[in-house]
Amino acid sequence: MIKKMTDFFVLLVKKYLPDAFTIALIFMVVMFGVGMVVAGQSFPQMLEHWSTGFFSMLPFTLQMIMVMFTGHALANAKAVKSVLRRVARIPQNNVQAVILLYVATFCLCYFNWGLGLVGGAIIAKEIAASKKGIHFPLMVAVAYGANNTLLGLSSAVPLLVATEGHFLQEEMGIVPLTDTLFSSWNLIITAASFAVCLFIYTRMAPREAKDIIEADPRLFIEEEPEAAEVAQGERTFSQLLNNSPVITVLVAAIGLSYFGWYVWNNGWNLNIETVILLFFILGMIAYRTPAAYANAVKESMISCAGIALQFPIYASIMGMMKSTGITLMIADGFIEIATAQTFPLFTFLSAGLINFLVPGGGSQWAVQGPVMIPAGLALGADPARVAMALAWGDVWTNLLQPFWALPVLAVAKLEIKDVMGYCAVVAIAMGLVVGGLLVLL
């Protein structure tokens, strides 16, 4: 049954799903029309809403770019890549490859989703390069899917609500990670999602040779070289500074000292800034010199192109939804039929729906948070659960949202239609598991 469902969705998306940027543009145009027809806004009013939103997420966009390039650069460091390659040689068949890839990517993503996205794609490539008979589209789907079956230390919503001065602090206060990411009920949801999704991915692995699609050999021939130190040439003073590990040691000492001071005073209640700082420092340590790290970041920025290009588009959609009250209309429909017990479920479902229009946990929190938190408080729902339900809804339908697959596809040189069918099956199962547990726990 799983194979039939997978085949159906694979065929469906290959025929009808356009590129991620095209989808964003279509959503933007549709939302412009919906604002006029449903919300009764005039054309000039919609122009104002659109323009206000277009640049409204620039700070958040930079945060997401930094999360991406720090994780991407670290994953491409010689030492890290060497470990990933050794890990990739372990599996002997498709099922073993799926299990190893899923577990490894899940662990990487728990610490940094940028590291998980790129690291998972690298492992998938290395498995395909070292073994014959590996179904490469499934490997890439697993590498992407494993990043969207958990909420880890770089998840935007729990980090944002744990940060002093977040925009909903007056309503819900500062919520520590112990009440969100590290709460017992969230750990149970994470474990259940992990087990169910891993089982489904293993059932998707082809058993017959005729069903296997191997990676294009050109993928490995055209592989970009690892980021290396800049040549020292005549060893001028400037080149000596550029390639001096002493500078890296000093900067790393300052950064790690701040991180240690922060943890000493705040415990492990990390926020998005501290996570970015930690992976920035780890990247510098991995590359040893300023020139080598700068070169690695330059290569990593290619993977950020989709974020930089599409976030302003989605910001304009967010602006139109928020200013016209469409988000409020959607949320109100759930609020009318919800109770304190079921409100997290409806938050989860509405977040999954709105995620198609506003991808990214932070941007979605900006749209839905001001609506869902006051409504949840009015119903007597725990704001920490509401916030995490929204974050889970965002992660859940990321499996069907092509935006975040861009970095993985860039490494694997595949198109979204090659992997989306597999992700759709997992999304159905994950929706049932997470939605059910949000009500029961």
**Does 158 reside within a domain?**
yes
pLDDT recorded at residue 331: 67
User: 99: domain range?
Assistant: 2-25+39-226+269-440
Predicted confidence pLDDT, tens digits, the chain (441 residues): 555 665 666 666 666 667 667 877 888 899 999 999 988 899 999 999 999 888 877 777 787 788 778 877 887 888 888 888 888 889 888 899 999 999 999 998 888 776 787 788 888 988 988 888 888 999 999 999 888 888 887 787 898 888 777 778 888 999 988 999 999 999 999 999 999 999 999 988 877 777 788 877 766 654 444 444 445 455 788 888 888 899 999 999 999 999 899 888 877 766 667 878 888 999 999 999 999 999 988 887 876 777 788 778 877 887 888 788 887 787 677 678 889 999 999 999 988 887 876 666 766 787 788 788 888 988 899 999 999 999 999 889 888 876 667 667 777 778 777 888 888 889 999 999 999 999 998
Query: If DSSP codes are grouped into helix, strand and coil, which group holds residue 231?
Result: coil
Q: How many CB atoms lie within 10 A of CB 264?
A: 8
pLDDT recorded at residue 201: 92
**Does 209 reside within a domain?**
yes
What is the domain count for the chain?
Answer: 1
pLDDT recorded at residue 222: 44
Q: How many CB atoms lie within 10 A of CB 337?
A: 9
Q: Are the C-beta atoms of residues 326 and 359 closer than 8 Å to each other? A: no
- Report the candidate in 137, 196, 199, 142 with the shortest Cα–Cα distance to residue 10: 137
- Distance, in Å, from the CA atom of 157 to the CA atom of 168, rounded to the nearest integer, reads 11
pLDDT recorded at residue 234: 59
Q: Are the C-beta atoms of residues 320 and 110 closer than 8 Å to each other? A: no
**Does 243 reside within a domain?**
no
pLDDT recorded at residue 139: 92
**Does 45 reside within a domain?**
yes
- Distance, in Å, from the CA atom of 334 to the CA atom of 137, rounded to the nearest integer, reads 37
**Does 237 reside within a domain?**
no
Q: Are the C-beta atoms of residues 145 and 422 closer than 8 Å to each other? A: yes
Structure tokens at 309: 């290009």
Q: Phi-psi category of 279—alpha, beta or left, where left has phi over 0 and alpha has psi -120 to 50? A: alpha
**Does 97 reside within a domain?**
yes
Q: Residue with structure tokens 């290569």?
A: 299
Question: Helix H segments across 213-304?
Answer: 218-221, 237-242, 245-266, 272-287, 290-300
**Does 238 reside within a domain?**
no
**Does 32 reside within a domain?**
no
- Distance, in Å, from the CA atom of 336 to the CA atom of 441, rounded to the nearest integer, reads 22
pTM value surpassing 0.85: no
Q: Residue with structure tokens 């997420």?
A: 57
